[in-house]
């Protein structure tokens, strides 16, 4: 295999010829520049240089093999260049943000002191690199939907039944026929390695230890094979959240790959077709630049022309999504590609819930993408309530799940009383694995199980199927709930 010096690679940093170094290997990415989801400039910024530190946390290990032709894998750095890069890495001065993270990690609370979902989120936000925090926490526009997703649960109150035997309370249920210890699953979320080096593997291992189900994102930061290999046993169910690529063959290859790896269902995401306006994510590079320089942006008088780049970390992930999906074409197309169950993730109105059920989908997820796409989308629990009132037949035709805004076991139980089969949590598990790795995932699942079990016993039920609509009431007033505001 040919070897190259750093000087040779440095000569190739334009659109006419662009090479990058990743893990001491040299790649010609010229032909891929304008196919890159995040645009060519993201790559050109590292043209002729080592891009390893920027590349590794957000790309699966097989991404280069899938996107760069074999003949463009040019070779490796020579020994002297490797030593030079290694020395430069060791000599590199840590950024202010890196130093802040080191201090935060050393001072994080003992895991035993994390007693609810909110504790986990607050701890993680303090110790995450700012770019990761901004990506995980960002929401669309003014964050109205993100806030209301959680606040909406406070409009639903219980009608507990008393004098009922509740010993032996069982929190287990099934999802698409697969048993789960609690009616909670890990919702598909991208780029777990931004928060922890093991990323999605933490989620897979934590799910196995606690008997819950994990959904894996198309945009996971590890390969689908690496995640499947991390399962505690071949029987551990994992589902796949599909962002359908605009090229049918590319999408079909992805579906066939995960089916061969043992994934058990396809969750087709339909509520995030185009990049949204997530301003915290968009502002992250500017914040970090000012933070490192010690500049107060309010006092920066330099005016520069230019268009604002709003893609952020998230935008580049979905820029190749199929924006022309239809009920008439897309669902039959997936049926013709795989025998796996199909769940539609991102239903945001009653009419589409009905269409999904009529299309024979095995499940639907009432979701507005955690408030990260269209602001003022209806909170999922409110939509669930509307479906229950207006089209209760949907619940007999397909399994109904919700995600978005769940913070407590009582939130889970309200959703189940209204007819949801399961609820998903995405950010919460990202925060858990970011702050404490696999142990954080296990701890969070056990917190939820404790809260769910207590809630069931207090409602007078000892199995999930005893949770019925009569046990909740929607009210027109709201209590003061500081944690949700």
Q: DSSP per residue over 91-129, as a string?
A: HPPPPHHHHHHHHHHHTPPPGGG--SHHHHHHHHHHHS-
Confidence (pLDDT) at 307: 57
| Distance (Å) of CA 321 to CA 2, 37, 244, 251, 372 | 37, 10, 6, 10, 16
- The label of the residue with tokens 């209760």 reads 392
Q: Which H or E run contains 125?
A: helix 117-127
Which parts of the chain have pLDDT scores under 70?
A: 296-316, 481-485
Confidence (pLDDT) at 34: 86
Compute the Cα dihedral for 370, 484, 383, 117 and give only its sign: positive
* CA 60 – CA 58 distance, rounded (Å): 7
411 three-state secondary structure: helix
Please report, for the chain, how many H helices and E strands are present, in that order. Answer: 20, 16
* CA 220 – CA 193 distance, rounded (Å): 8
| Distance (Å) of CA 43 to CA 65, 81, 291 | 17, 21, 24
Q: Which H or E run contains 21?
A: strand 19-22
* CA 438 – CA 214 distance, rounded (Å): 13
154 exposure class (CB count in 10 Å sphere: 0-12, 13-18, 19+):
buried
Q: Which two tokens stand for residue 85?
A: 């890069």
367 exposure class (CB count in 10 Å sphere: 0-12, 13-18, 19+):
buried
Contact (Cβ atoms closer than 8 angstroms) between residue 15 and residue 33: yes
The pTM assigned to this predicted structure is 0.90
Residue 338, number of CB atoms within 10 A of its CB:
18
Task: Give residue 265's Cα distance to chain centre.
Answer: 17
First vs last Cα of the chain: how many Å apart? 59
Residues annotated as catalytic are 243, 271, 369
Confidence (pLDDT) at 6: 96
Q: Which two tokens stand for residue 362?
A: 């095995």
Confidence (pLDDT) at 414: 98
Residue 184 exposure: Cα atoms within 13 Å on the Cβ side? 32
| 322-331 pLDDT tens trace | 999 999 999 9
Q: How many residues does the chain have?
A: 485
Angle at Cα 186 formed by Cα 183 and Cα 188, nearest 5°? 135
Structural domains of the chain in order of their starting residue, each with its CATH number? 3-91 (3.10.120.10), 118-277+314-474 (3.20.20.70)
* CA 195 – CA 104 distance, rounded (Å): 13
* CA 306 – CA 82 distance, rounded (Å): 38
| 252-265 pLDDT tens trace | 999 999 999 999 99
């Amino acid at each position: 295999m040919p070897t190259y010096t750093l000087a040779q690679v440095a000569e190739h940093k334009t659109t006419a010829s662009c090479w990058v170094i990743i893990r001491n290997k040299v790649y010609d990415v010229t032909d891929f520049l304008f196919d890159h989801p995040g645009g060519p400039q993201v790559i050109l910024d590292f043209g002729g240089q080592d891009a390893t530190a920027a590349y590794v946390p957000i790309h699966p290990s097989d991404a280069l093999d899938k996107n760069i032709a074999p003949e463009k894998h040019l070779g490796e750095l020579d020994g002297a260049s490797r030593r030079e890069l290694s020395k430069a890495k060791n000599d590199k001065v840590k950024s202010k943000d890196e130093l802040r993270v080191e201090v935060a990690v050393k001072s994080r609370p003992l895991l035993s002191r994390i007693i609810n979902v909110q504790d986990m989120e607050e701890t993680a936000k303090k110790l995450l690199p700012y770019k990761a925090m901004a990506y995980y926490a960002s929401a669309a526009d003014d964050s109205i939907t993100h806030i209301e997703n959680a606040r909406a649960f406070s409009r639903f109150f219980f009608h507990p039944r008393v004098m009922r035997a509740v010993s032996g309370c069982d929190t287990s249920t099934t999802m698409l026929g697969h048993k789960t210890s609690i009616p909670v699953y890990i919702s598909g979320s991208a780029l777990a390695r931004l928060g922890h080096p093991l990323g999605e593997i933490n989620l897979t291992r934590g799910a196995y230890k606690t008997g819950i189900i994990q959904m894996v994102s198309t945009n996971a930061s590890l390969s689908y094979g690496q995640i499947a290999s991390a399962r505690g046993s071949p029987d551990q169910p994992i589902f796949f959240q599909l962002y359908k690529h605009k090229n049918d063959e590319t999408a079909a290859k992805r579906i066939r790959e995960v089916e061969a790896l043992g994934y058990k269902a396809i969750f087709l995401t339909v509520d995030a077709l185009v990049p949204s306006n997530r301003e915290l994510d968009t502002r992250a590079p500017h914040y970090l630049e000012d933070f490192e320089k010690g500049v107060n942006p309010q006092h920066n008088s330099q005016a520069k022309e230019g268009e604002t780049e709003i893609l952020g970390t998230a935008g580049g992930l979905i820029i190749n999504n199929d924006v022309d999906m239809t009920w008439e074409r897309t669902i039959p197309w997936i049926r013709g590609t795989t025998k796996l169950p199909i769940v539609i993730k991102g239903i945001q109105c009653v009419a589409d819930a009905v269409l999904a059920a009529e299309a024979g989908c095995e499940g639907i997820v009432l979701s507005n993408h955690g408030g990260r796409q269209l602001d003022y989308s209806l909170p999922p629990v409110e939509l669930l309530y509307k479906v229950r009132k207006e089209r209760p037949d949907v619940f007999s035709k397909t399994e109904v799940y919700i995600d978005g805004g769940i913070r407590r076991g009582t939130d889970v139980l309200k959703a189940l009383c209204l007819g949801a089969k399961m609820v998903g949590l995405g950010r919460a598990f990202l925060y858990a694995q970011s702050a404490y790795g696999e142990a954080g995932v296990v701890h969070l699942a056990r917190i939820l199980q404790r809260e769910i079990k207590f809630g069931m016993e207090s409602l007078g039920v000892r199995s999930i199927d005893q949770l019925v609509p009569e046990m909740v009431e929607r009210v027109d007033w709201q209590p003061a709930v500081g944690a949700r505001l």
